Chain A
């Protein structure tokens, strides 16, 4: 790694640079799969960079490189010296360096994703490193996890609950997870997904696209001319022009993420506890579909799948 800058900018200065998106969560929850999915969805329309924080290997970085979802040169791996949470929260210097290295080499960029090393529920990104952060849980960790809260679950700008297809097998009740998450997150959005089935994580991708649009709007990042429309896989997503139109001037990112539901056309939904009922969420249908769709065994690794499958998002009505 190495940033061969003409000059070193003050890292705290957000104007004119890419949105920095942190993706955290426990080991095995699907962070790397989500990063790959976002690269797949957003790569055609956004200028991307990725920083991985592997615990003991460069496995995550290698997986992304092999997946072919992004130019391998645009992936920077950071070692964290046994302390993944330190590297994203207390001493973010190495991650900042990696982000700035990407921006120097490939900039201007629209989005730099920083994937944390798998850590516990208390690990969150420093605001000095990530402008927005996603926390990823999976249903196999047990449906009590959202209730236990912790800064990752409660304060992340977006909570993604992954591997919904496994819910029936592990006895996880998505309704419970939804209700608990909503209760501790004070209206911040939650998305249920199965990246194994929706290889483009299109709902999450749409949320990220909107965050990038607002960021550009607020911080004056030059638009990338010649943008193509989103690929067919991100159905429901729009081109940048359209997104920019949807987000009225003066609406701040904070307003949007706090409302969650107010972004028109976006499937992101702030799930409120009282709006939920057992039949309000198509838990059964999704779980059943999840199994029947491919007859995929839960052991099957996410990265063994290459075909795009239709998404089965679980959302509140």
Chain B
């Protein structure tokens, strides 16, 4: 795991199929594919897993990395799990490895998170900071929603996320997990919970991404073994063959997080988090001549400034313009506008499988 600085043992625990978080009951679309006859043998399964990893796997990896990064900014995790409060003092302990996201300018100033500068209004500041953190989690969860068109898949993702969050809060208690649970009581998307759990366990974003990519194929593989009676060693060989692709997906996920953050404006007004002009939309960056943040397209050609030329449209007034500067109060927050550009690779067949599975009363797996 080149360049990973996080806790590798924690990563093993997190990715283990024996982690009691309900994963064993999800087939990731395999049960319906088996029922319909589109997955009948090992070769079909190999194509299924490769396609799943390149789509849903990549998306969950990127969202997990983003969630891990967000959680790592929570007061008690800055500087690593178990380091306790004093976020401002610990902030500099966040040191990037070669593939870890770069230290952000704002990582060194965690005062908005804790309201430690609040003075007489400290209590209100803490409450406000908590509120900001909740809104950030909801916003990231919204990004997961926007990448999950199928309601059956959203439901399955939230169920798994809720179960994982419950388990993680007992394994690796942290303020980040508590805030996430309060922010999204119906259960966050699974990759969001996974990223937050990873941070709480001491993992880095790339490890969170790797765990997400890994579980996006191991669950379906195990389901296929059970449903088709396949040789488990043969199926595990498929997973072994996918190992380079898993690493690539984790790299790509983190690269997308880095690229988008580096190219997107960092907004500093809490009102922008879920007020009207929230989206640091790639559209706007393009229109203002900045590099379009679309790493998911993975082609340098898109970085061509020619794309940013005028298109007969003025920048919409009120949309994410220049940062409005200091907002009043202790609850000033940075919004990581880069989330908008995270990969959203869709798999139409997985969507159809998920909906077909939900509609079928005869099933062994939840999804």
Contacts and interface: CB of A to CB of B under 8 A. Distances in A.
A touching B, CB within 8 angstroms: yes
Interface of A: 1-8, 10-12, 55-58, 78-83, 86-87, 90-94, 96-97
B365 A81 contact: yes
Given A5-B185, A12-B170, A97-B159, A91 B23 contact: yes
A79 B155 CA distance: 14
Given A5-B181, A91-B20, A96-B163, 7 more contacts: A6-B182, A7-B181, A7-B182, A57-B361, A79-B363, A81-B365, A83-B24
- A contacts with B: majority SS: loop
B166 A90 contact: no
B22 A97 contact: yes
14 contacts: A3-B162, A3-B186, A5-B181, A8-B169, A10-B169, A56-B362, A56-B364, A57-B361, A81-B24, A81-B223, A82-B226, A86-B24, A90-B20, A91-B23
B236 to A, nearest CB: 18
A97 B361 contact: no
B163 A58 contact: no
Contact of B170 (A6, A11, A56, A86): A11
Interface residues of B, number: 35
B116 interface: no
B363 A94 contact: no
Contact of B25 (A2, A10, A12, A79): A79
A275 to B, nearest CB: 42
B227 interface: yes
A81 B162 CA distance: 18
A209 B69 CA distance: 50
A86 to B, nearest CB: 5
A81 B18 CA distance: 14
Contacts of B170: 10-12
Interface in B1-49: 18-27
Which of the listed residues A78, A81, A94, A96 has the most CB atoms from chain B within 10 Å of its own CB?
A81
Q: Give the most central of B19, B24, B167, B169: most A CB within 10 Å.
A: B24
B364 A79 contact: yes
B335 to A, nearest CB: 26
Contacts of A81: 24-27, 223, 226, 364-366
A286 B155 CA distance: 51
B165 A94 contact: no
A80 B19 CA distance: 15
B79 interface: no
B205 interface: no
A206 to B, nearest CB: 34
A87 B365 CA distance: 11
Contacts of B19: 91
Contacts of B202: none
A7 B185 contact: yes
A248 B7 CA distance: 52
Contacts of B223: 81-82
B359 to A, nearest CB: 13
Contacts of B341: none
Given A2-B187, A3-B162, A55-B364, A93 B21 contact: yes
Interface string B326-367: 000000000000000000000000000000000001111110
Nearest to A82: B226
Contacts of B186: 2-4
B361 to A, nearest CB: 6
B159 to A, nearest CB: 7
Interface in B214-262: 223, 226-227
Contacts of B18: 90-91
Contacts of A56: 362-364
Given A91-B18, A91-B21, A97-B162, A82 B227 contact: yes
B215 to A, nearest CB: 14
Contacts of B363: 56, 79
B158 interface: yes
Contacts of A92: 20
A55 B364 CA distance: 6
B166 A94 contact: no
Nearest to B182: A7
A172 B264 CA distance: 76
A97 B21 CA distance: 10
* 10 cross-chain pairs, A with B, having the tightest CB-CB distances, nearest first: A81-B25, A93-B22, A93-B163, A91-B20, A82-B226, A94-B22, A79-B366, A81-B365, A8-B181, A82-B364
Contacts of B185: 3-8
B127 to A, nearest CB: 16
Contacts of A58: 361
A96 B23 CA distance: 14
Given A3-B162, A11-B170, A79 B365 contact: yes
Residue from A2, A82, A92 with most neighbouring chain B CB atoms (10 Å): A82
Contacts of A12: 170
Nearest to B177: A8
Interface string B154-180: 010011001111110110000000000
Given A2-B159, A91-B18, A92-B20, A80 B25 contact: yes
Contact of A94 (B155, B158, B366): B366
A2 B156 CA distance: 10
B362 A57 contact: yes
A136 B361 CA distance: 26
Nearest to B227: A82
A82 B25 CA distance: 8
Which of B18, B159, B362, B364 counts the most chain A CB atoms within 10 A?
Answer: B364
B20 A87 contact: no
Given A81-B226, A86-B24, A87-B25, A97 B366 contact: no
A56 B366 CA distance: 11
A3 B187 CA distance: 8
A82 B21 CA distance: 16
A94 B226 contact: no
A91 B364 contact: no
Given A8-B169, A81-B26, A2 B181 contact: no
Contacts of A93: 20-22, 163-164, 166-167
